[in-house]
Chain A
């Protein structure tokens, strides 16, 4: 039987969880190239909401945890296939197309589409975890220090209890249809912006008329198979692997960054008075849950 037992109700556990959740912030920027196009992003996010349920099998279930994208700036760049003034055939070849022809005139160049998706909210549908007590020696503590010297130096050893996720299920980032429309508008604008201001009006009119509808351009260049929204969702979630990045960051946060509770070891039991504090060593700390509460047990000595 354990020497020490500490319990917290499910309600108290929820409040502790809220503090841990609120401690999560994440920011990152990166870029990658995917054949015909490249993409870069800059993001910052935090977590909100979420329900917590403790189970008799020792698991903690967190559901419907919102991922709030405070910043999500995406930039997609691709080589615009360009304006093509078509050529024509002067002397047809009776057997094989054209014998003598005037070639097409191609005018193309790279364009970049900046997309501000800040404010989007996606969801972590489920986190299944167990509690894990971990003994942590402060990396700043010198090997020759006694426990007392470590305490005076503010670097005592700690028992820390973490929510250790077994899996984190992140839902795809749902891109609203309005973003697809906005993307197409921005592509149109970017194409128009490519044309030098010195170009006469009739030339701009002709070049713009030669273009197919922008959605077809985008689908052709970016290999979009369905809608632009789906393309952006796939780009963010899979190609740029933001879902995996969030999964890792959230798991890392709960499993090793922010504990739900921590104890000094040795644990101070008498700290008032003129003498040095009285402390007892804690051993074999374990954390578990039932459907009613969280229970931490340990031995003294």
Chain B
């Protein structure tokens, strides 16, 4: 019987960086001011793809779901193997009171997003996902049990994070509701974060932030399956 085709990046990446999004991380931005925006998807300093976001008061879209992996590294199509997204696929719209969700559905990732008005004015703020602020959100999902360091690289804030081991097989485990952490000039609130595996972690950034989560020590546990019963 054939094996499941699982994206190896799903389990290979144990650290996360809000400035270099991977499959387990996402950023939420509220555009606010109506207008036409031009976005660039970057990996490091290289621009991988350009997209457009129309922030339109008439748009019924409350949340624009922008999959960076699909734009920057789309799957091959048809016999020709053409992989470039169509013009329609690079255009998004959202209501000014809505949100843009930047996420990565697969692949190696490492993306950041830069969003500015197509007709730039000096007074228009630029969104750069490597520098979150003003209530912008970084969400993370951590699968590997262990102890992690959490840092805001734009300040001195630090937090300790632990991820518990999963319960027994076939236990119908469902991660608890996501845990919300506020990032302020004073640091993380709370500073000690205890998660269950795959539980969501939401950082609300109220100060200039780039959140980096690094594995400090993996919890390999005993051989075989985990035995915890936390639900």
Q: Which residues of A contact B (CB under 8 A)?
A: 83, 85-91, 93, 99-100, 102, 105, 107-112, 188, 190, 193-206, 208-214, 216
Q: Which of B186-231 contact A (CB under 8 A)?
A: 197-200, 202, 218, 220-221, 225-226
- B137 to A90, Cβ gap below 8 A? yes
B10 interface residue (CB < 8 Å to A): yes
- A209 to B171, Cβ gap below 8 A? yes
- A99 to B63, Cβ gap below 8 A? yes
- A213 to B11, Cβ gap below 8 A? no
Given contacts A112-B1, A195-B3, contact A212 B99 (CB under 8 A): no
| B167 surroundings in chain A (CB, below 8 A) | 209
| B171 surroundings in chain A (CB, below 8 A) | 209, 211, 213
| A196 surroundings in chain B (CB, below 8 A) | 3-4, 6
B39 interface residue (CB < 8 Å to A): no
Contact partner of A200 among B11, B101, B169, CB < 8 A? B11
- B170 to A213, Cβ gap below 8 A? yes
In the complex, A105→B10 CA distance in Å? 10
- B202 to A90, Cβ gap below 8 A? yes
Interface size class of B (residues with CB under 8 A): 35 or more
Given contacts A91-B28, A109-B4, A208-B169, contact A102 B225 (CB under 8 A): no
Given contacts A91-B28, A102-B103, A211-B169, contact A206 B3 (CB under 8 A): no
B4, B174, B197, B200 interface centre (most CB from chain A within 10 Å):
B4
Chain B, Cβ-Cβ closest to A200: B11
| A88 surroundings in chain B (CB, below 8 A) | 139, 141, 175, 177-178, 199-200
| A contact face: mostly helix, strand, loop, or mixed | mixed
| A112 surroundings in chain B (CB, below 8 A) | 1
| B175 surroundings in chain A (CB, below 8 A) | 86, 88
- A202 to B220, Cβ gap below 8 A? yes
Contact partner of A102 among B141, B143, B173, B174, CB < 8 A? B141
Chain B, Cβ-Cβ closest to A77: B1
- A107 to B4, Cβ gap below 8 A? yes
- A212 to B4, Cβ gap below 8 A? no
List 21 interface pairs A-B (beta carbons < 8 Å), by A numbering.
Answer: A85-B10, A85-B143, A86-B174, A87-B200, A88-B200, A91-B137, A99-B98, A99-B99, A100-B28, A109-B3, A196-B3, A201-B220, A202-B218, A202-B221, A206-B197, A208-B166, A209-B166, A209-B168, A210-B198, A211-B171, A213-B172
- A203 to B11, Cβ gap below 8 A? yes
* Closest CB in chain B relative to A186 CB, distance in Å: 12
- A214 to B170, Cβ gap below 8 A? yes
- A205 to B226, Cβ gap below 8 A? yes
In the complex, A93→B97 CA distance in Å? 12
- B198 to A212, Cβ gap below 8 A? no
- B173 to A194, Cβ gap below 8 A? no
- B101 to A206, Cβ gap below 8 A? no
9 further contact pairs, Cβ within 8 A, besides A108-B4, A213-B172:
A86-B174, A102-B141, A107-B4, A109-B5, A110-B1, A199-B11, A209-B167, A209-B170, A213-B170
| B3 surroundings in chain A (CB, below 8 A) | 109, 193-197
Contact partner of A193 among B1, B139, B165, B197, CB < 8 A? B1
B26 interface residue (CB < 8 Å to A): yes
B62 interface residue (CB < 8 Å to A): yes
**Which 9 pairs across A and B sit closest by C-beta, in order of nearness?**
A88-B200, A208-B169, A209-B166, A203-B11, A212-B172, A209-B173, A88-B178, A100-B63, A206-B166
- B226 to A209, Cβ gap below 8 A? yes
In the complex, A187→B68 CA distance in Å? 37
- B225 to A107, Cβ gap below 8 A? no
Chain A, Cβ-Cβ closest to B176: A88
In the complex, A104→B11 CA distance in Å? 15
B86 interface residue (CB < 8 Å to A): no
Contact partner of A93 among B6, B62, B137, CB < 8 A? B62
* Closest CB in chain B relative to A87 CB, distance in Å: 8
Contact partner of B165 among A89, A110, A205, A208, CB < 8 A? A205
B31 interface residue (CB < 8 Å to A): no
Write out, one digit per residue, whether chain B residues 1-26 have a CB within 8 A of any chain A CB (1) or not (0): 11111101011000000000000001
- B28 to A212, Cβ gap below 8 A? no
